[in-house]
Amino acid sequence: SVFSTTAVLDESADIYEMAKNCLKRVALDLESIHVTQRPNYKPPELDQPPDPYRFVADVTDTGGTGFAQNIRFASRAHVGFEKNSREGIAEIVYYLKSGEDGHLTLKRVDNLYPYPEFEKRGSDPALCKYVKSLSFKFYDREGIEFDVWDSDSEEFGYATPKAIAIKLELAKNAASHTFETMVSLPLIRQKAE
């Protein structure tokens, strides 16, 4: 039973370390957000491309549970993997990928301008494995909560969220661990008056 307990404690320690690193990376990305401010920002016309520095989060169903996926925003927290990596404002995208073992993995895409069309690739870096559930809640300046967000939408007043709550649940085996954090964005675009 001592060996069994040690194995459970080691697994829990690994899960906690992975969750801590994952949430730390997400917070760093969000705290380094870049947005186009007015008067430079103009809502896109019908036939115009969207703002390259927009903040978009939609909800898609994965494994029977609603997940906020394809969260997309611009950030100065670019992570370059090439030898001669450039610096700049990156487009960050988070999404969940189902594995053959039935577990979900949180992936992170990081591209410098010009931003390519987003597509999931097997080579995208994994931020976190064994995801049982993941939810993002977005708050405007008045503290009103939303499940989705689009800073290029009139519905949100062409604004960015003020804060984002993140709830991450990991489960490798039977035991489930839940982690939560709140990130207040240091740079926002206010609602259009």
Sign of CA pseudo-dihedral 131, 121, 53, 67: negative
C-alpha 97/C-alpha 64 separation (Å) is: 14
Specify the amino acid at residue 111.
Answer: N
Query: Where residue 157 falls among pLDDT bands split at 50, 70, 90?
Result: very high
Q: How many residues does the chain have?
A: 193
Strand partners, 62: 65
More confident residue, 179 or 82: 179
- Segments in 32-137 forming alpha helices (H): none
Average pLDDT over the chain reads 88
Which of helix, strand or coil describes residue 22? Answer: helix
> What radius of gyration do the chain's Cα atoms show?
18
C-alpha 29/C-alpha 186 separation (Å) is: 11
pLDDT digits (tens, 9 = 90+) for 68-79: 568 999 999 998
Provide φ and ψ at 53, rounded to 5°: -105, 30
Nearest to 65 by CA among 96, 35, 93, 34: 96
Q: What is the mean pLDDT of residues 17-32?
A: 97
- pLDDT of 15 reads 93
pTM of the model: 0.89
pLDDT digits (tens, 9 = 90+) for 104-141: 999 999 999 899 999 988 889 999 999 998 989 999 99
DSSP label at 44? P
Query: Where residue 192 falls among pLDDT bands split at 50, 70, 90?
Result: confident
pLDDT digits (tens, 9 = 90+) for 159-175: 999 999 999 999 988 78
pLDDT digits (tens, 9 = 90+) for 93-110: 999 988 877 789 999 999
- pLDDT of 178 reads 96
- Contact yes or no for 112/88 (Cβ under 8 A): yes
Specify the amino acid at residue 93.
Answer: V
pLDDT digits (tens, 9 = 90+) for 37-69: 999 999 988 889 999 999 999 987 665 555 556
- pLDDT of 66 reads 54
